[in-house]
Amino acid sequence: MTQWFDRTLFEGLRTEQNVAWGGSMHLLDQVTSTNDAALEAAQSGEATGAVFIAREQTAGRGRRGNAWLAEPGEGLLISVLHRYRGDTERLLGLSLVVGLAVRDAVQECLNSTNRTSSSSVRAQVKWPNDVLVSGKKIAGVLVETRTVGEREIGIVMGVGLNLHSRSFPRELPDATSLALLGVDEEERRVERVTVYLLAALAKKLDAFLLQDFSPFLPELVDADYLHERRIRVGKVEGRGSGFDTAGRLLIADERGQVVPVISGTVEMLDGAV
């Protein structure tokens, strides 16, 4: 029996919220990375909607070779598998779509707290893969893919979300958690946050794969942390100006020219995180 995850509570919440994903649930006390577990399972035939959650990762990874650090049991470490037949170029904006689902889940938890306090705190996405609250990082997304059949790929959507931590290592000065944001213990339970996330993720992924990035443009007006901020990505410098329908970040340079950016690391030029 796994002490740190209550399957009965999870199943109850999953049924209540009508969430199809998570029927195949792999709970791992310790693993190198939940993304590794999901990628391997994809190759062994595991189906869309399978979920991998760890209490502890020994080699959790983030984007661009960074490590993802989390004390055992303090965060949600989750990977969700989707089997995909289609053009990989269409997946360009997927990281941000997953980020928006994480944002919804975080916002749901924050709203439960906001209902009993006067302040309203907003969760935002920071292209390409971060979720921030009040300028501090609460979650990160790492999407990875692997060919699993002749014309099929396994898409693994990995999310690390800080639930209970009240302090962070020196390397993470700008991190926050649901606990630090005042979300109560019951509302930040791993089973509950998992259900919120799976519900949002399934809905958003369906819309994204059916169409493109356009259904998400309205919600990004509010949720885009980079909007109107001075930034640099590679050689492109200017103000964050939203996204195009393929999910590329748009930067308006000094001459007012709007340049689409596919990938890269964002440098904040206005002193923000």
Contact positions toward ligand BTN, by CB under 6 A? 33-35, 57, 60-63, 66, 68, 77-79, 129-130, 140-142, 158-160
Nearer to ligand BTN, 154 or 158 (CB): 158
Nearer to ligand BTN, 80 or 220 (CB): 80
Cα distance between residue 223 and residue 122, in whole Å: 8
Query: C-beta of 245: minimal distance to ligand BTN in Å?
Result: 25
Omega of the bond prior to 128 within 30 degrees of 0, cis? yes
Backbone angles phi and psi of 44, in degrees to 5: -90, 10
Nearer to ligand BTN, 14 or 61 (CB): 61
Nearer to ligand BTN, 79 or 241 (CB): 79
Question: Token digits for 240?
Answer: 């964050």
Of all residues in the shown chain, the one whose CB is closest to ligand BTN is: 140
Nearer to ligand BTN, 42 or 142 (CB): 142
Query: C-beta of 68: minimal distance to ligand BTN in Å?
Result: 4
One DSSP character per residue, 174-218 reads TB--TTTTT--TTTT-HHHHHHHHHHHHHHHHHHHHHS-SGGGHH
Query: C-beta of 114: minimal distance to ligand BTN in Å?
Result: 25
Cα distance between residue 179 and residue 154, in whole Å: 33
Query: C-beta of 254: minimal distance to ligand BTN in Å?
Result: 30
Query: C-beta of 142: minimal distance to ligand BTN in Å?
Result: 4
Cα distance between residue 126 and residue 100, in whole Å: 10
Query: C-beta of 40: minimal distance to ligand BTN in Å?
Result: 13
Nearer to ligand BTN, 10 or 68 (CB): 68
Nearer to ligand BTN, 138 or 220 (CB): 138
Query: C-beta of 159: minimal distance to ligand BTN in Å?
Result: 6
